[in-house]
Amino acid sequence: MDIPTGLIRKVIVMAGDRDITYVRGNSIARGTIKIVDITFDQAYSMQYNKPRYNIYVQEIDSEFTRLWKSIPGDYCLPEYETGIETIEDND
C-alpha cells in the first residue's frame, strides 16, 4: 500500500446520499470547535493494510487538541495542500 505524504487540507466523506466535507481550519459545532489537523493514520494502515484518516479538533477555549474522528479511507477522498503553509508565532 502506498503511504500518502503531504499536508491534508480536507477530506470529503462519501456518506450515502450526501457527502460531508471536513476542512482544516474550519469551525464546527456552532463555532465552538475548530478542526486543527487531518492526518493519514500510518500505524493503522501498516497494521491492517487499510487506509484511515484522523481528524483532530480543539475547543475554542482550550489549549488541548484531541482526536475527534477516524474515517476509513475507503469512504473518503483527501485533498492535499498545494501551497506552503506558514505558522505565525503569537508570542
User: What pTM was computed for the model?
Assistant: 0.80
Rounded to whole angstroms, the Cα distance separating 43 from 51 reads 10
Grade residue 81 by pLDDT with cuts at 50, 70 and 90: confident
What are the pLDDT digits (tens) for 36-69? 999 999 999 999 999 999 999 999 899 999 999 9
Please give the C-alpha separations between residue 18 and each of 13, 26, 30, 54, 74, in angstroms, as whole numbers. Answer: 9, 19, 20, 20, 16
What is the percentage of the chain residues whose pLDDT exceeds 90?
Answer: 60
Q: Does residue 13 have a pLDDT over 80?
A: yes
Domain ranges of the chain: 8-80
- pLDDT for the residue numbered 91: 58
